[in-house]
A and B are shown apart, each in its own frame.
Chain A
Amino acid sequence: MTDVDEELWSAVGDVSRLRILDLLVENGEVTASWLSGQVPISRQAVVKHLATLEHVRLISRRKQGREVLCRIDDARLEQAAQAMAARAAGWNRRLRAIKRLAEAIHADEQRASERS
């Protein structure tokens, strides 16, 4: 649990930022103002989220005239998705271990109560 990129985790651990990533994947390179029209939060909040996403390199931004254009870094997004998938796989493995343990204990206790 200490080997994950904590900044990357906290960057994707937010519903607004995931929604922004979602929109960027769907629409390619878009402006910050277009993005703020798509989510139920203020333009300032969108700009803050974009800065967070850029900080962990999930997106890149460039200026064009008075507008800021943003786009996904595909390789980095895939890396983040793989890290999260590994974490999900960890919980799936633990749930299966809980099932095995609980069912074994239950079977043991049933045998013990049948003997007594």
Chain B
Amino acid sequence: MAELLIADEIVVEAPIEVVWRVVTNPELMTGWFADVVDLVIEPGARGRLRFGDQGGPVVVEEVEPPSRFTFRWNHPEGSEPLAGNSMLVAFTLAAEGPERTRVRVVESGHELTAWPDAEKQRYADEHREGWAEFLARLAGVVLP
């Protein structure tokens, strides 16, 4: 199990096929994600995202229409994205009706290789809200 950094979800009043298109069509991705999406949506594809004058490499991992899309980003330019040097973003779509879809996004870092499985599960269960909230709570920071 990948360790959660950030987990969030939203319910969209639209069929899962429409939501899938919005999440994975590079042209539509510019409407919610990056200013420029130079990427082919297929497993193993390498591309770039641009945000204003900044940008970075992206590698697509899983594309399972209409329910799962994952990619890695935030790895150093020119290097292979691996579990140790990049962040994995996973979108999971679930139809809750003909015109209702739940979208969940999880951004995670390293794999929990050093922990026994039962401990991993217990800790992940305790922190299902994601490390952002957990760390904020530790530091006494109020989330927006």
Chain A residues within 8 Å of B, Cβ to Cβ = 1-4, 6, 9-10, 12-16, 18-19, 21-22, 25, 40-41, 45, 74, 77-78, 80-82, 84-85, 87-89, 91-92, 94-99, 101-103, 105-106, 109
The answer to the question of B99 belonging to the interface, with a C-beta cut-off of 8 Å to chain A, is: yes
The yes or no answer to B45 lying at the interface (CB within 8 A) is no
- Which of A4, A45, A109 lies in contact with B114, CB distance below 8 A? A45
B80 within 8 A of A: no
Q: Are B110 and A14 in contact (CB under 8 A)?
A: yes
**Residues from chain A with Cβ under 8 Å of B3 in the complex:** 13-15
Q: Please count the residue pairs between chain A and chain B whose beta carbons lie under 8 angstroms apart in the complex.
A: 147
Q: How far is the CA of A19 from the CA of B134 in the complex (A)?
A: 10
Please report the C-alpha to C-alpha distance between residue A106 and residue B20 in the assembled complex, in whole angstroms. Answer: 12
Q: Please indicate which of the listed interface residues A15, A21, A77, A102 has the most CB atoms of chain B within 10 Å of its own CB.
A: A102
Sorted nearest first, the 3 A-B pairs with minimum C-beta distance are: A13-B109, A97-B32, A81-B139
Query: How near does chain B come to A86, taking the closest CB pair, in angstroms?
Result: 8
Q: Mark B121-144, 1 if CB is under 8 A from A, else 0.
A: 001000000111111101111011
Q: Determine how close the nearest CB of chain A comes to the CB of B58; give it in whole angstroms.
A: 10
Are the C-beta atoms of B6 and A1 separated by less than 8 Å?
no
